[in-house]
């Protein structure tokens, strides 16, 4: 199966044609297409993340997971399609969506404190030169509380461990008080205890009513960490409850262009 130009029935995610209910909550992406440097990277992507859900965005390297997130945020132009948060279409570059980038994308040697970095999440939400007042700093303190790093507030970010950095980035995403959270490989490069901490934190946030879309390469771990899988490779290849999708050999073979008896597929069958 090719990455692009797939007929819609080949993907058939269950949410594709769902009508928008009044008072819809969470994230809905519909008919999304993205070109990068003239190349079709994503075609006809549709997915839905409901409040309280952690959805695992899964696909091989170069499948367009990060591009999908960037398109949702409006950082890369969409060729077509719509992104809707809480029933309202998102304006490019003004998504207001909480986003945790890959940790390597952040300049950790910048001489700012944890609280300053979290507060920087509010920059750009108002006019140029705006800085948080009392309400803004309360939001910062709340975000630090929710990710259990309040005690690190005055610490320079350069001195944090990998797991602490990830929690600070989560706090920076939460300070926007969005109902949707995008996490780009939040577990990559963390040791197992730190991964467990982030995973349980993400679950806490979902239980608080956030809609979480999380890309990950730990596919076996993600079966338990997530409620649903969205398999992506150019377009959505499968979408459903994690255990159902994990058992769908054909979906993994198509998405990862692997053999039915590959180690990945066998590991997923064993979960």
Using rule CB under 8 A, residue 97 touches other proteins: yes
Indicate the residue among 156 and 221 with the shorter CB distance to other proteins.
Answer: 156
Using rule CB under 8 A, residue 111 touches other proteins: yes
State the nearest-atom distance from the C-beta of 241 to other proteins, in Å. 29
Among 12, 33, 52, 113, which residue interacts with other proteins (rule: CB under 8 A)? 113
- Given the DSSP bridges, would you call strands 180-184 and 211-215 parallel, antiparallel or unpaired? parallel
DSSP string, 89-155: EPPTT----EEE--GGGS-TTS--BHHHHHHGGGTTSSSTT----HHHHHHHHHHHHHTT-GGGTTS
> Residues in contact with other proteins, total (CB under 8 A)?
39
Using rule CB under 8 A, residue 110 touches other proteins: yes
**Cα distance between residue 9 and residue 17, in whole Å:** 11
Indicate the residue among 61 and 128 with the shorter CB distance to other proteins.
Answer: 128
The answer to whether 201 and 145 have CB atoms below 8 angstroms apart is no
State the nearest-atom distance from the C-beta of 45 to other proteins, in Å. 18
Give the H/E segment covering residue 48: strand 39-49
Q: State which of positions 153-182 bind other proteins (CB under 8 A).
A: 156, 158-162, 172, 176
The answer to whether 86 and 25 have CB atoms below 8 angstroms apart is yes
Environment class of 112 (CB within 10 Å of its CB; exposed 0-12, middle 13-18, buried 19+): middle
- DSSP class of residue 217? S
State the nearest-atom distance from the C-beta of 50 to other proteins, in Å. 22
State the nearest-atom distance from the C-beta of 268 to other proteins, in Å. 31
Indicate the residue among 70 and 146 with the shorter CB distance to other proteins.
Answer: 70
Piece in contact with other proteins (CB under 8 A), picked from 54-62, 124-132, 237-245, 253-261 = 124-132
**Cα distance between residue 241 and residue 88, in whole Å:** 26
Where does the chain have alpha helices with state H? 8-11, 65-73, 114-119, 134-146, 162-174, 192-207, 219-225, 242-246, 249-256, 263-270
Among 9, 19, 21, 128, which residue interacts with other proteins (rule: CB under 8 A)? 128
State the nearest-atom distance from the C-beta of 203 to other proteins, in Å. 24
Indicate the residue among 30 and 70 with the shorter CB distance to other proteins.
Answer: 70
**Cα distance between residue 84 and residue 246, in whole Å:** 28
Among 82, 105, 204, 244, which residue interacts with other proteins (rule: CB under 8 A)? 105
Among 10, 75, 220, 267, which residue interacts with other proteins (rule: CB under 8 A)? 75
Piece in contact with other proteins (CB under 8 A), picked from 25-33, 114-122, 137-145, 238-246 = 114-122
Among 21, 22, 23, 37, which residue interacts with other proteins (rule: CB under 8 A)? 37
**Cα distance between residue 95 and residue 70, in whole Å:** 11
Question: Which stretches of the chain bind other proteins, using CB under 8 A?
Answer: 37, 70, 73-75, 93-95, 97, 99, 101, 105-107, 109-113, 116-117, 120-125, 128-131, 156, 158-162, 172, 176
């Amino acid at each position: 199966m090719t990455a692009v130009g797939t007929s819609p029935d080949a993907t058939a995610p269950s949410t594709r044609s769902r009508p928008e209910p009044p008072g819809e909550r969470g994230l809905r992406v519909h008919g999304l297409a993205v070109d990068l440097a003239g190349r079709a990277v994503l075609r006809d992507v549709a997915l839905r993340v409901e409040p309280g859900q952690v959805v695992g965005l899964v696909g091989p390297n170069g499948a367009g997971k990060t591009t999908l997130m960037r398109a949702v945020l409006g950082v890369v132009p969409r060729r077509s399609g719509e992104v809707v948060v809480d029933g309202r279409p998102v304006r490019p570059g003004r998504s207001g969506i909480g986003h945790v980038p890959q940790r390597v994308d952040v300049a950790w040697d910048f001489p700012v404190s944890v609280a300053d970095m979290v507060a920087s999440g509010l920059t750009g939400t108002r006019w140029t030169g705006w800085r948080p007042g009392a309400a803004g700093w309360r939001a910062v303190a709340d975000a630090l509380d929710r990710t259990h790093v309040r005690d690190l507030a005055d610490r320079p970010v350069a001195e944090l461990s990998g797991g602490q950095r990830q929690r600070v980035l989560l706090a920076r995403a939460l300070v926007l008080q969005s109902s949707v959270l995008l996490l780009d490989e939040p577990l990559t490069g963390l040791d197992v205890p730190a991964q467990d901490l982030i995973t349980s934190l993400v679950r806490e946030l979902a239980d608080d009513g956030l809609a979480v879309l999380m890309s990950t390469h730990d596919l076996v771990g993600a079966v338990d960490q997530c409620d649903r899988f969205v398999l992506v490779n150019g377009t959505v290849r499968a979408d459903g409850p994690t255990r159902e999708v994990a058992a769908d050999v054909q979906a993994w073979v198509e998405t990862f262009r692997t053999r039915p008896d590959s180690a990945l597929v066998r590991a997923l069958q064993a979960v």
